[in-house]
Amino acid sequence: MFHIFNRILIIKYADSGLPIPSGNASDIVKYLYDYESVNNSKIPFVKSISRMGWVGKEFFPYKFSNEIVFESEYKEAANVIDSTCECGSLETWIKNAKLLRESPFGRFILASSFSAPLLKILNHRVFFVHIWHDSRSGKTAAIKMAISVWGNPTKLMGSFNATSVGLERMAGILKHLPFAIDELQVLNNKRLPLENIIYSLGNGFGRLRGSKDGGMQETLSWRNNIITSGEQPISKESSNDGVLSRVLELYGKPASNPDVAHQFHLTSENNYGFAGKIYIEYLINSVMKVKNKIHRDFEKLRDTILKHSSDECDNTHLDNVAIVCLGDYYSSISAFNLDETVAWDEAVELGTKIMENCKELQRADTIDRAWDFVIGWITSNKNRFVPDSTPCYGKIEENTVYIIPNILRQALEENGFDYSKVTRGFKDRELINTIQDKHGITRMHVPKRINGVLQKCLCIETMISWGTNGENDVPTNPLK
């Protein structure tokens, strides 16, 4: 509101139809200031909010007792808040949501939506839930059903065809509600790299930006989960470990066939906004009135899922899976009227299945993946490690490879690996030979004469042995 007392900033409201010519801006500002001063005691005071989610122990706009209005300088914010309303039939939505819950992947996506408000209470960091499969597998339909918990999914969902500022604003407005971003394949990685999106949204706060009047813009923040979909995984072989820890990937079909998916589309667009209000009222009136109940339920559910999972399950995403299943548990009781015991057992079963899916999709860490790449790169370029080859990559002596650093740097960086991080990791895991200089400092580069020239090389023990006939054995990865 302070923009109306600034003769420069008030002009922007002319775009909204307010007749403010630039020549009279100073007079209008003075008039408005005098008007408020005279009527200050008579103008009623009303609180406003510029985002959705928790406000103390209340949740805007689904469960809020005091008078409050939504106010934001962003035009898209008004569209978002107007979309959090009830439309259609709760019975129709429940009927189709139960059908979606028959698939563990569809049920987990739906539970991800219900679990978003729990992140703030549990002080859990933002994480991604990404489901991928072939086209016509019901991914988008499942996400629309999940977002229809809170309102109109066509208005509450985002797109990867957006700017970083747009994504931050949407996440900041939703605050504690799930942020769905559909169709990964439309992302322009050159304009907006995927890893940048994961790190910026995963941090839970926007970039620090200056304002036109010389001050600083308000820094947006959020604490929710990000639900995404696509026809390919969101992580790559060269993805940093930070990306892998922030993204919970699922590979599966949420819908049994295209006809069911089409039914989900129609249901979500015409029936929405009921379940979210029921769910929030249950949390506030039943769960949160018992001190630390959510924390105790979370810890118990996490331990139970771990107990029912295989011994080799990946613990990286265990907390993420548990918090989603906690949303499934609470929503089963509140929105789907299941008995508490049945709801608990089904939540545990869901978590166990998803942990198995995570295990199947689990990637090794960056250093392991880089080592596998280097082994394959050496094997496929064996002819470049012989004298007088052009270009020459280095030298091979039995199971030891001496690589010219610049050559390896180029190969790693072309495939998305950071040379410094990878070579340092190789050193820490004793995968490369090192030497100590005269000062006692350990050096990664060892001297080796190649084509008559003394080079500082990276010396790698590959455990690849070449026979006299030139044939090499199958490479063995010592990390396995």
147/271 Cα distance (integer angstroms): 11
Tabulate helix, strand, coil % of the chain (nearest 5): 50, 15, 35
pLDDT score for 15: 65
* SS3 state of residue 387: coil
pLDDT exceeds 80 at position 127 = yes
Kindly state the tokens that stand for 158.
């985002």
Kindly state the tokens that stand for 91.
């019975």
48/81 Cα distance (integer angstroms): 13
Please tell us whether the domain made up of 87-361 is placed in CATH 3.30.450: no
397/422 Cα distance (integer angstroms): 23
Q: How large is the average pLDDT for residues 350-377?
A: 81
- pLDDT, the chain, mean: 84
Residue 42, burial from CB neighbour count under 10 angstroms (0-12, 13-18, 19+) = exposed
Q: What is the pTM of this model?
A: 0.75
116/109 Cα distance (integer angstroms): 11
221/218 Cα distance (integer angstroms): 9
211/2 Cα distance (integer angstroms): 14
114/324 Cα distance (integer angstroms): 8
* SS3 state of residue 61: coil
Q: How large is the average pLDDT for residues 58-81?
A: 78
177/117 Cα distance (integer angstroms): 6
Per-domain residue ranges for the chain?
2-69, 87-361, 366-461
> What does the DSSP assignment read for 67-131?
-EEE--S-HHHHHHHHHSS-BS-HHHHHHHHHHHTTSHHHHHHHHHHHHTTHHHHHTPPPEEEEE
> Which of 211-215, 317-321, 470-474 reaches the highest mean pLDDT?
317-321
Cβ atoms of 248 and 358 within 8 Å: the answer is yes
117-141 burial, b for 16+ CB within 10 Å, e for fewer? bbbbbbebebbbbbbbbeeebbbbb
pLDDT score for 190: 66
202/222 Cα distance (integer angstroms): 9
Of 17-21, 24-28, 230-234, where does mean pLDDT reach its minimum? 17-21
Chain centroid to Cα 150, Å, comes to: 20
48/252 Cα distance (integer angstroms): 43
Which residue would you say has higher pLDDT here, 122 or 32?
122
Which residue would you say has higher pLDDT here, 105 or 415?
105
80/53 Cα distance (integer angstroms): 13
**Each residue's pLDDT tens digit, 242-301:** 677 788 889 889 998 899 999 999 999 999 999 999 999 999 999 999 999 999 999 999
> What does the DSSP assignment read for 213-258?
TSSBPPPPB---EEEEEESS-S--TT--HHHHHHEEEEES-SSSSH
Q: Residue 154: CB partners within 8 Å, gap ≥ 6?
A: 144, 269
Q: How large is the average pLDDT for residues 392-403?
A: 87
pLDDT exceeds 60 at position 32 = yes
Residue 93, burial from CB neighbour count under 10 angstroms (0-12, 13-18, 19+) = buried
Of 23-32, 45-54, 57-66, 186-195, where does mean pLDDT reach its minimum? 186-195
Residue 56, burial from CB neighbour count under 10 angstroms (0-12, 13-18, 19+) = exposed
**Upper half-sphere CA count for residue 478 (Cβ side, 13 Å):** 12
